[in-house]
A and B are shown apart, each in its own frame.
Chain A
Amino acid sequence: MAGSLGKDLLGLADLSAAQIRLVLDTAVPFREISERQIKKVPTLRGMTIVNLFFEPSTRTRISFEFAEKRLSADTVNVAVAGSSVSKGETLVDTARNLEAMKIDMVVVRHPASGAARFLAERIESNVINAGDGTHEHPTQGLLDLLTLRDKFGDLAGKRICICGDVLHSRVARSNIWGLTKLGAEVGVCGPRSLLPNAIGEMGVTVFDRIEDAIQWADALNILRLQLERMQGGYIPSLREYNRVFGVTRARLEAAPRDLLILHPGPMNRGVEIDSDVADGPHSVILNQVTNGVAVRMAVLYLLAGGRPELAEAAKRGPA
C-alpha cells in the first residue's frame, strides 16, 4: 500500500523524503498517460476541482488544468484580481462559498505567504498550494526534482545551484527543502541584496559570483528575475544583472562538466539567461513542463478521495 500526503499539499518543508519520493514515483506512470492517444483516465471522474488564482498565471494554471482533465475531473477556473482586502470579499468567504457548491479540491495561488495554509485550515476540501507569496511552490519544486532525477538517477550528493532572486522566490524555497531532503548539495548564487539575510542558516553554500557557481555545480536552476516583486531597487539595473550574473554560453563553456540547465519560466531572455543557453543542448526546460503535468496528476491522485474512514466502513462489509 502506498503512503499518503495527508489532506493538503502546502509545501515541501512539511513533507518527508519518503513522501517526496512517493510523488516522484507516482508521476512516472502518469507521464505515460500523456503519451497515449486518449490522454485520459477515469480516476477522478465526478470530482470537481477549482483553480482559485488570485495572481495571474498562465502556465501553472494550464498545467493544472491539463492534469485535472486528464484525470477526468471537472475543472472550474476562478480568477480573482487583487487581494481580499482590496476586493471586499475575504479569502475565507470566497473559499467557503465555493465549498458550499460541493467541490472536492482547491488549487490556490495567492500573493500572500501563508494563504494556502490559511485556506486549508478553514475548508474541508483538499488544498494544493500553487504558489503563495514568497513562501512555497511545491509542485514546481517536485517537477524540478523529477527532472533532475530523470537525468541523474539518485540525487544524493549532486550539486544543484539556484541562481537569482532567492529572496523573493517561492520556487527557490521549495527547491531548497526538496533537494536537501533528497540528499543533494544545494548552492545559491545571486547578489546578496537578493538573498535572505539568514541564508547562511538554511544549509546551502552561497556563491557571490556566477563563475564560481558554474565551477561547482552539476545543474543550475535559474530563477526569473522577479521584476514585479522588486520594491525599491535591490539591484541597479537589468543590464548590470546580466553582465555580472547572467548565465551565458561563454560562462558555461568554462564549466568543468556539462551542466544541466533548468528554469521555472517564464524566462527573461537576455537577463538571467541567454537564449542560446535556454535553447541549448543541456537545457531541460521543456522536460520540466512535461513533468509538470505528470507531477500535478500524481499529486491530485494521491490527495483525492483516499478517505480512510470510507475504507474502514467498506471493510466492515455491506450494510
Chain B
Amino acid sequence: MPNNPETVLDARALDRTLRRMADQIVELNSGTDGLVLVGIQRRGVQLAERIVKIIAGAEGATIPCGALDITLYRDDLQTVGPRPVVGATHLPWTLDDQHVVIVDDVLYTGRTVRAALDELADFGRPARIALAVLIDRGGRELPIHADVVGRKVDVAPGKRVDVFIVELDGRDEVVIASRTSGE
C-alpha cells in the first residue's frame, strides 16, 4: 500500500489561500472595526499573525491578534495518557462586544473549537465569534461549522492532514499522510 504523502498546498498555494481568507474575513466583518483574531495554539497562532499582516497591507489597519491554548479545556484529558504540554494563552484586551475570528490550521471533529468557545466565554462576551480554518477535512463530531475555509479536503480516517509552516517547521506545505508514518 503506497505511503506517499500527497501535497494539498505548496508554499505558493498556501500564501494565495491565506490572502483569500484574509479578504473573506474582512468582507464577513464589513471592514476592520471591532475585528480581533485569536489563533489556537499552536499553528493557528502563526496563521493568524500572517493574516493580520496581510490585512494590514491591504487595509492599512493592524487588528489585534491573540493566542489561545485550549489544553486545559479539552474534553479528553482523562483518557489522553501523559499530560499534554500547556502552551501560552495571551489575550491582553477585553473581548466584550468585539467580533472575534478564531483561526486554526485544521478543522476535523470540532472538539478543539468547542474547547476554544468555552475558554473564550471565560474571557468575556464577544458580539460575534466566527471561525476561519486553513483546511476543513470533514468528519465532524459536533455541530461546528467554519465561516471561512481555505481548502476543503476529503480525507479518509486512516490518514491525517499535516500543516507545516516556516515559523515552526522550516517550510510551508500542507500534506496528507497515512497515520502510521511517524508521529
Contacts and interface: CB of A to CB of B under 8 A. Distances in A.
B180 to A, nearest CB: 13
Interface in B65-124: 69, 72-73, 76-90, 118-119, 122-124
A275 interface: no
Q: Which of B69, B83, B88 has the most CB of A within 10 A?
A: B83
Nearest to A28: B88
B73 A41 contact: yes
Interface in A295-311: 301-302, 305-308, 310-311
28 contacts: A1-B81, A2-B82, A4-B82, A26-B85, A29-B69, A29-B88, A32-B89, A33-B72, A37-B123, A37-B124, A38-B122, A38-B123, A41-B72, A41-B73, A41-B119, A42-B73, A42-B118, A43-B73, A43-B77, A301-B86, A305-B78, A306-B80, A306-B83, A307-B78, A307-B79, A310-B78, A310-B79, A314-B80
Interface in A15-36: 25-26, 28-30, 32-33, 36
A313 interface: yes
A29 B88 CA distance: 5
A312 B123 CA distance: 35
Which are the 5 A-B pairs with shortest beta-carbon distances? Answer: A311-B81, A38-B122, A41-B72, A43-B72, A314-B79
A25 B81 CA distance: 19
A38 to B, nearest CB: 4
Interface residues of B, number: 23
Contacts of A311: 79-81
Nearest to B81: A311
Interface of B: 69, 72-73, 76-90, 118-119, 122-124
B85 to A, nearest CB: 5
Contact of A30 (B73, B82, B86, B124): B86
Contacts of A314: 76, 79-80
A96 interface: no
A1 B84 contact: yes
B122 to A, nearest CB: 4
A40 B76 contact: no
Given A29-B89, A41-B72, A301-B86, A313 B122 contact: no
A266 interface: no
Given A37-B124, A310-B79, 9 more contacts: A1-B81, A1-B82, A2-B82, A4-B82, A4-B83, A26-B85, A38-B123, A41-B72, A313-B79
